[in-house]
Amino acid sequence: MEQLSTMNLDELKKKINQGKYILFFSAGWCPDCSFIKPAMPEIEAEYPEYKFLAVDRDENIDLAADLAIFGIPSFVAFKDGEEIGRFVNKDRKTKEQVEEFINSLD
C-alpha cells in the first residue's frame, strides 16, 4: 500500500483524478488501526481494481479535516476524483466490515 505524503485536498484531487482509490486513514498510536492493518494486504489483493493509499491522519490533519475524517480507522473511496463512498467512524473495523463496505460501492 502506498503511503500518501503530506498534502492538501487540491493536491489529493490531482493525484486521484483518474481511477479508483481507497484512502485508509490511520495513526500509529491508534489501537483500532493496528487491529485492521494485518488484514489490509489481503483486502488489497481482493480488490485489484482499487489503488489503496495509506494516510497518516496526524501527518495529514488538515486533509482529514477537509474530508470530515473525525474517527479512525476510516476508509474513503474515490472514482476519478469524486467520492463514491465512506466508512468513517471511530469504531474498530473487521476485515468483513471493510469488505462489505467495498462491495457496496458499485
Tens place of pLDDT per residue across the chain (106 aa)? 999 999 999 999 999 999 999 999 999 999 999 999 999 999 999 999 999 999 999 999 999 999 999 899 999 999 999 999 999 987 889 999 999 999 999 7
CA distances from 68 to 34, 44, 85 (A): 21, 24, 13
- Residue 14 is among the residues annotated as catalytic for this protein: no
pLDDT for residue 72: 95
From 4, 16, 22, 30, the catalytic residue: 30
All domains of the chain in start order, with CATH: 2-103 (3.40.30.10)
Rounded distance between C-alpha atoms, residue 105 and residue 4, angstroms: 22
Indicate the pTM of the whole model.
0.94
pLDDT for residue 73: 96
From 12, 16, 27, 33, the catalytic residue: 33
Q: What cell does 78 get?
A: 474515490
pLDDT for residue 83: 96
- Residue 30 is among the residues annotated as catalytic for this protein: yes
